Amino acid sequence: MINVEIISIGDELLIGQTINTNASWMGAQLALHGIKVSHVVTISDTREAITTALEEAQKRSQVVLITGGLGPTKDDITKHVLCEYFDTKLEMDEAVLNHVESFFTKRNRPMLEVNKMQAMVPEACEVLFNEQGTAPGMWFEKEDTIFVSMPGVPYEMKYLMGAHVIPRLTERFPVKKLVQKTYLTQGIGESFLAEKISDWEDQLRSEGLDLAYLPSPGMVKLRISSASGDQARVAHYGDALKAMIPLYLYGEAEETLSEVVGRLLQSKGETVGTVESCTGGGIMANLTSVSGSSAYVLGGLITYSNDLKIKLAHVSAETLEDMGAVSEETVLEMAAGGKRELGVDWCISVSGIAGPLGGSDEKPVGTVWIAIDGPDRTLCRKFLFGTDRLRTVQMTVLTALNLLRCEILGINIEKKQS
């Protein structure tokens, strides 16, 4: 296993003005080719920082991918520092110069002296031709370590990685591709999930596979990986996982809950609508984020005020008066009223106290009722989502969508889950 390191150069990264998406993209692309990045180091655009980073990288890594600091402006000194580090000097590369000239001619822009300078490359490097811009990539080798310097502009870096760097690296270091699959769960916290699947996880690890928990609000991704590329074992454990937690496991890879729910509805020829209070339209916005959702989404009612709950969703004034807007009775009437009014097969309704104000001892901030009125039966559940307003809304949206998924599939939902 080789050590691959990324050095990202630029103050804009350190002060958070730019997010280092280059490193993420490179890490993901290399992982797909079985090459794992072990270090990402972000540093300032100074001679000392760059030199030290090169020295440290050389000690521990066989491949060092450097981005940034190759633009035409004055604060870009990477190329000079590379010359020092590799004990070489800049020379004019005629092929690159022609390319830079034609680059400006094609765009009808005058070429400045600083642009011409971009064709000056260190003698000791091999030039990686950059079709997408004026700064070439540069490939160096020093004492068994490969150094590749690329511009930080994302589409130029991506071009150089795809056209030159990845093909050369995979040829030089033929590796068994890492196999990994990601499974998506909703409705169960990281530690509960870990407990529920601990035997399965132990067994998986005993066979040399690896498991990672990747939590985000309302969701936990589970990533199974096999460093030895054992596709069959990964799939085997994935299938076992699906069978074990159907209530929570809703999809794989990059799928969204709305895509999964949409596919289910479309295959059954059924439609969905919502009557939303505390989510303010968020469930419907999520459902309609899917291209083609007009095939099964008809519409919704956002009944933020009590008057509109009565007028639009036909909740009775007595129910609101006696039980309150955040109650089992109210969401049930909202779902039933919405189903009739919207003419849908499935109607989701939600009412809750998103906070931070409006809570009481009996109904604390974060209390949310969700009902789903379907073709055959109605489900209604209460949740407690905590005190952060936006988080509560997001949890409610995801939970409602997952409950709808379970109802469509006929998966029995436990009485208590939150």
Task: Tell me which residues in 46-75 interact with a copy of itself (CB under 8 A).
Answer: 49, 56, 71-75
143-202: which residues touch a copy of itself (CB under 8 A)? 153, 155, 182, 189-192, 194-195, 201
CA–CA distance, 339 with 373 (Å, rounded to integer): 7
CA–CA distance, 236 with 203 (Å, rounded to integer): 12
Shortest CA distance to 149 belongs to which of 125, 173, 172?
A: 125
Site size toward a copy of itself (CB under 8 A) is: 105
User: Scanning the structure block, which residue is given the tokens 């939902």?
Assistant: 413
User: β-strand 126-128 against 120-122: which pairing, if any?
Assistant: unpaired
Q: Which is nearer to a copy of itself, 163 or 211 (CB)?
A: 211
Q: In this chain, which stretch among 89-97, 160-168, 262-270, 291-299 interacts with a copy of itself, using CB under 8 A?
A: 291-299
Q: Which is nearer to a copy of itself, 124 or 249 (CB)?
A: 249
**What are 283's two structure tokens?**
């469930």
- Shortest Å, Cβ 228 to a copy of itself: 17
- Shortest Å, Cβ 95 to a copy of itself: 20
Among residues 1, 92, 95, 212, the one that binds a copy of itself under rule CB under 8 A: 212
User: Scanning the structure block, which residue is given the tokens 């809570």?
Assistant: 359
Q: Which is nearer to a copy of itself, 162 or 343 (CB)?
A: 343
DSSP 244: H
Give the CA dihedral 155, 158, 160, 166, nearest 10 degrees. 180
Orientation of helix 389-409 relative to helix 257-268, angle to 10°? 30
The sign of the torsion formed by the CA atoms of 272, 277, 278, 282 equals positive
113-142: which residues touch a copy of itself (CB under 8 A)? 114-115, 132
Q: In this chain, which stretch among 25-33, 259-267, 372-380, 406-414 interacts with a copy of itself, using CB under 8 A?
A: 25-33
Q: Which is nearer to a copy of itself, 182 or 316 (CB)?
A: 182
Task: Check binding of 208 to a copy of itself (CB under 8 A).
Answer: no
CA–CA distance, 313 with 329 (Å, rounded to integer): 13
- Shortest Å, Cβ 85 to a copy of itself: 18
Among residues 145, 149, 303, 319, the one that binds a copy of itself under rule CB under 8 A: 303
Q: In this chain, which stretch among 120-128, 288-296, 315-323, 406-414 interacts with a copy of itself, using CB under 8 A?
A: 288-296
Specify whether the backbone of 366 is left (phi greater than 0), alpha (psi in -120 to 50) or beta. left
Q: Which is nearer to a copy of itself, 50 or 124 (CB)?
A: 50
Among residues 162, 208, 356, 375, the one that binds a copy of itself under rule CB under 8 A: 356
253-272: which residues touch a copy of itself (CB under 8 A)? none
User: Which strand (E) or helix (H) includes residue 282?
Assistant: helix 282-287
Task: Check binding of 280 to a copy of itself (CB under 8 A).
Answer: yes
Task: Check binding of 283 to a copy of itself (CB under 8 A).
Answer: yes
Q: What single letter denotes the amino acid at residue 188? A: I
SS3 121: strand
357-416: which residues touch a copy of itself (CB under 8 A)? 357, 364, 384, 386, 388-391, 393
Among residues 36, 47, 233, 236, the one that binds a copy of itself under rule CB under 8 A: 36
CA–CA distance, 158 with 141 (Å, rounded to integer): 21
CA–CA distance, 150 with 55 (Å, rounded to integer): 18
- Shortest Å, Cβ 164 to a copy of itself: 18
What's the maximum distance between 2 C-alpha atoms anywhere in the chain?
Answer: 85
394's CB contacts (< 8 A; 6+ apart) are 217, 218, 282
74-103: which residues touch a copy of itself (CB under 8 A)? 74-75
